[in-house]
Structure 1
Amino acid sequence: MLFLGIDTSAYTSSVALVDDENNLIWEARRILEVPEGEKGLAQSEALFHHVRILPELIATLPTNLWQNVGGIGVSAAPRPVENSYMPVFLSGMGIASTLASALQVPLIKTTHQEGHLAAGIASAENFNAAEFLAVHLSGGTTEVLRVQKRERGKIDPVILGATTDLHAGQFIDRVGVRLGLTFPAGKELEKLALRAAPGSASLLPSSVKGYEMSFSGVESAAQRMISDQKRPADIAQAVLGCLVRTLDKVLKTAVRDTGLTNILIVGGVASNKYIRTELTKKLQAQAKLYWAKPEWSSDNAIGVAMLTRETILK
């Protein structure tokens, strides 16, 4: 039996298929097109792109596999909390419900955040904790979570801390686009940072109050550095260094308060090698960090498909 997952975030359309042993059989995804120089899409624009792209992605699924599909899963909301809503998820819901009805198979509704966490649990090397800390680090979310996995097909995250303004990915993209990089700017910014002068990682401050993180002030500081014609590579590494120090402070507080020392990190920004290396160094005495596979960190439907499988087979 095969299980199809669909995810439609603010940045990516994604479809994935797993089998009854949780093996990834097939996937397709496409980043939504953003006009040059822009820093993202309005929800209405992103919804339009999903409506156009999703049928094209699904059409690439090998036709011989449809007869074995035993369930359809979809991200119906951003998070598994009451009143969590974003218009972009309506596009996935519409197609998923239509497919489930046509194939006469169960429709499983989950959330974008649970999909990220499921992909991380499945792909992080040697990870098997039932209760743990997690970081969801992306363009639309920057949260530190306390997570429990009480039952198959369901993940229960509780927010301990979050940004009060910009998300980590927005911080990267706004500075990156101003530096002339393509949106989304994460990969290009990471390459640029490799050419930074020693000490550049500490050029920007970090703003943390307990569990609250803020990036709007440091983003403004980075923009001033650009206006002052500081070296782009130094600015790029300063942004990443700020993110590392911010997360380090909040996670040390979370470890101290909860006693949990296993930390799973997911989301598109979590694929950044600099952040992975430097944050692991800073926390190695307090906690064990686990990272989703880089290719599974960014928005995808793999975790949604896996949760669908768990729900149907439990």
Structure 2
Amino acid sequence: MDKESVVLGIDTSNYTTSLAMMDLHGKLVTDERRVLSVKEGMVGLRQSEALFQHIKGLPVICKTMAEGCTPFKIVAISSAVKPRPLENSYMPVFVAAESFGSTMSTLWNLPFYEFSHQEGHIMAGLWSLGLQLNKPFMALHISGGTTEVLSIIPKKIGFEIEIIGGTSDLSAGQFIDRIGVKLNLPFPAGAHMEKIIDINNVKDINIPVSVKDTFISFSGPETFVQRRLKDDFKASDIIYSTFQSVAKSLYLLIKNSLKKYDYKDILVAGGVASNKIIKNFLEEKLQSEGLNLYFGTSKYCSDNAVGIAALGVDGYLQQNKMKLG
């Protein structure tokens, strides 16, 4: 049996160990992920602990992936080696993806492509929608560790990214997770919080919003909620109001950013982008203003290696002057 040619993508983020294989036509062959273990009551991991879990977890999900696939031939490897596509961008967790990918590519004499975690999120969002944007667009990257609004210029491989704005303190995901953990929910808490809400029986307690120009502050809203947790509010109302506060903040962030960059296409990526309440709020507000708002498919908003694999396919095809199709 002929083996299928695939590109292996690797991502080792703050929350998840991820591997993905994609064929040269852009079809996903396999997508394996292992969420890092966080002790009850904690709101994250130290970089050293997360890196250790990645090193232990990569062989495990490699075995799972190999056992569950049809015969394949890896022709290239791509890794997320840093948080952002900036020269001095660095975070220890990504050393695992870089080391693992570089070592295997050297042993097997394969091309090795380096990308950033942020590029992976953007590419995963576009790939999940079957969307190809060839002109500059805006992206909102909202996750457990990042809240940034970006100017994106597509390149032959990857993206040229400029940070327009973001958060001056907590990320949207950190704000959500801190409230969720205070409500005795597992970390990361966002998906667990959504399940508690009865959308037909909630009220907004009007958490204040702090947005100045193109920067959000979530520390004030978090303090407000922490104090309200001592009052007699239902957990579902606290959760709903937290999501509403995040959504209102992101809406103002986008509106202020559009005063500087006249884009019509906006991609929303990252784990928080899968939140239905935030998504519905932004869609209702922005689409009525004539903007093209794209949310990546929920499964590919959270941390994954699919976008990194897709970027690797682009790199391999460009290097070999082949055409995707």
- Amino acid in structure 2 at the alignment position of 1:38: M
With over 3 angstroms needed to count, the CA separation of the structure-2 counterparts of 1:67 and 1:282, relative to structure 1, is: closer
TM-score, normalised to structure 1, is: 0.95
Q: Is the 8 A contact 2:133 2:154 kept in 1?
A: no
Instruction: State the Cα distance separating 1:255 from its structure 2 match.
Output: 2.2
Q: How does 1:16-55 map to 2 (within 5 A)?
A: 16-55=20-59
1:160-187 per-residue CA deviation (whole Å, 9 max, x = no partner) reads: 0111111111101000000111111011
Structure 2 residues without counterparts, runs of 5 or longer = 319-325
With over 3 angstroms needed to count, the CA separation of the structure-2 counterparts of 1:66 and 1:165, relative to structure 1, is: farther
1:94-128 per-residue CA deviation (whole Å, 9 max, x = no partner) reads: 11111111221011111100000011111136553
The CA distance in 2 between the partners of 1:180 and 1:95, in whole Å, is 36
Q: Is the 8 A contact 2:143 2:273 kept in 1?
A: yes
Structure 1 residues without counterparts, runs of 5 or longer = none
Q: Percent identity?
A: 40
Work out which of the residue numbers 244, 263, 268 in structure 1 matches 2:271.
268
SS at match of 1:134: strand
Instruction: State the Cα distance separating 1:233 from its structure 2 match.
Output: 0.7
Q: Is 1:73 equivalent to 2:89 in the alignment?
A: no
1:51-102 per-residue CA deviation (whole Å, 9 max, x = no partner) reads: 1001111122226767511100000100001110000001111111111112
The CA distance in 1 between the partners of 2:139 and 2:196, in whole Å, is 28
With over 3 angstroms needed to count, the CA separation of the structure-2 counterparts of 1:312 and 1:123, relative to structure 1, is: same
In structure 1, the partner of 2:236 is: 233
The CA distance in 2 between the partners of 1:19 and 1:179, in whole Å, is 43
Work out which of the residue numbers 138, 141, 149 in structure 1 matches 2:143.
138
In structure 2, the partner of 1:256 is: 259
In structure 2, the partner of 1:203 is: 206
SS at match of 2:11: strand
- Amino acid in structure 1 at the alignment position of 2:145: G
Matched pairs, number:
312
Work out which of the residue numbers 196, 209, 221 in structure 1 matches 2:224.
221
Work out which of the residue numbers 95, 120, 125 in structure 2 matches 1:120.
125
Work out which of the residue numbers 11, 14, 17 in structure 1 matches 2:15.
11
SS at match of 1:62: helix
The structure in which a higher percent of residues are helix is 1
Q: Is the 8 A contact 1:196 1:234 kept in 2?
A: no
SS at match of 2:138: strand
The CA distance in 1 between the partners of 2:26 and 2:135, in whole Å, is 18
SS at match of 1:258: coil
- Amino acid in structure 1 at the alignment position of 2:7: F
Q: Is the 8 A contact 2:166 2:253 kept in 1?
A: no
Q: Is 1:177 equivalent to 2:181 in the alignment?
A: yes
SS at match of 2:174: helix
TM-score, normalised to structure 2, is: 0.92
